[in-house]
Amino acid sequence: MEGLILDGSTPTAAAADARAGATLRLRGLTKQFGDGNVVEALDLDVAAREFVVLVGPSGCGKSTTLRMVAGLEQPTAGDIEVDGIRVNGMGAAERDVAMVFQDYALYPHMTVAQNIGFGLRRRGTGRAETRRAVAEAAQMLELTDLLDRRPGALSGGQRQRVAMGRAIVRRPRLFLFDEPLSNLDARLRVFMRTEVKRLHAMMPTTTLYVTHDQTEAMTMADRVVVMNGGRAEQIGPPMEIYDNPASRFVAGFMGAPE
């Protein structure tokens, strides 16, 4: 795989170079459900190509934050900028983002290749171009030998890779992951952390990744956002959070076993 990263002449690297990762800027991002704010005044700047992990206990507002960035939920207040352009009013389809969920649903009657290429075809991409893009995504995810299989004949990890393939085939500039590994068994989860990072190293895509798993956050992130009750308690590189937790909550949550 190193060759793909270092050798700029391979088709995969060349295509990836053509699309730089986006910058993301959140200012005062707030979402109210009922009479409470589930996300409150969130400020965050994500650099191009950065891998930022939102971590915190269940119900702290991680998914709501991601859904607002994706355009699946409108903020009550605050701004979302992608590459300096305010995207608040834009729908999900207009934003150059792709999201991978925990509960990905593959089409059981379609092959792996058809599952990966479906979104492109639906957006009007031609057959030959789709085939080329699917082959490239499959190569990056080491799914090339499985392209003719149906999801029922795949392992959990392979199915999750197909779900990622559906997202990367669009070459988004911003990748959003919502607990993509939560449904996998412990051994596979650890393996897939490395896989997601390997993928990130091959692509220029900026990544915002959500998990409730402290170890996942600490091992994967360039920077971690520790969330509690809709607010960012601390934002910083993993070592800084370990060495200097900003609050009792951060120390307790990040120090707790998985």
What is the contact surface with ligand ADP in residues (CB under 6 A)?
A: 33, 38, 56, 58-64
Find the helix or strand (DSSP H, E) in which 172 lies.
Answer: none
Using rule CB under 5 A, residue 37 touches Mg ion = no
Least distance from Mg ion to the Cβ atom of residue 72, Å: 13
Question: What does 203 interact with, of Mg ion, ligand ADP, none (CB < 5 to 8 A by kind)?
Answer: none
63 vs 158 by CB, closer to Mg ion: 63
What order of strands is seen across the sheet that includes strand 85-86?
Answer: 36-46, 24-33, 77-82, 85-86
Single out the residue of 13, 20, 22, 2 nearest to residue 136, CA to CA.
13
Question: What does 78 interact with, of Mg ion, ligand ADP, none (CB < 5 to 8 A by kind)?
Answer: none
39 vs 116 by CB, closer to ligand ADP: 39
210 forms bridges with which residues in the sheet? 54, 178
Binding mask 50-69 for Mg ion (x = CB under 5 A): -------------x------
Question: What does 60 interact with, of Mg ion, ligand ADP, none (CB < 5 to 8 A by kind)?
Answer: ligand ADP
Question: What does 221 interact with, of Mg ion, ligand ADP, none (CB < 5 to 8 A by kind)?
Answer: none
Task: Give the separation between CA 68 and CA 55, rounded to whole angstroms.
Answer: 16
23 vs 211 by CB, closer to ligand ADP: 211
Least distance from ligand ADP to the Cβ atom of residue 160, Å: 19
Strand runs (DSSP E) across the chain, as ranges? 24-33, 36-46, 51-55, 77-82, 85-86, 97-100, 174-178, 206-211, 223-228, 231-236
Q: Would you call 86 helix, strand, or coil by DSSP?
A: strand
Task: Give the separation between CA 164 and CA 4, rounded to whole angstroms.
Answer: 18
In the complex, the residues that contact Mg ion under the rule CB under 5 A are 63
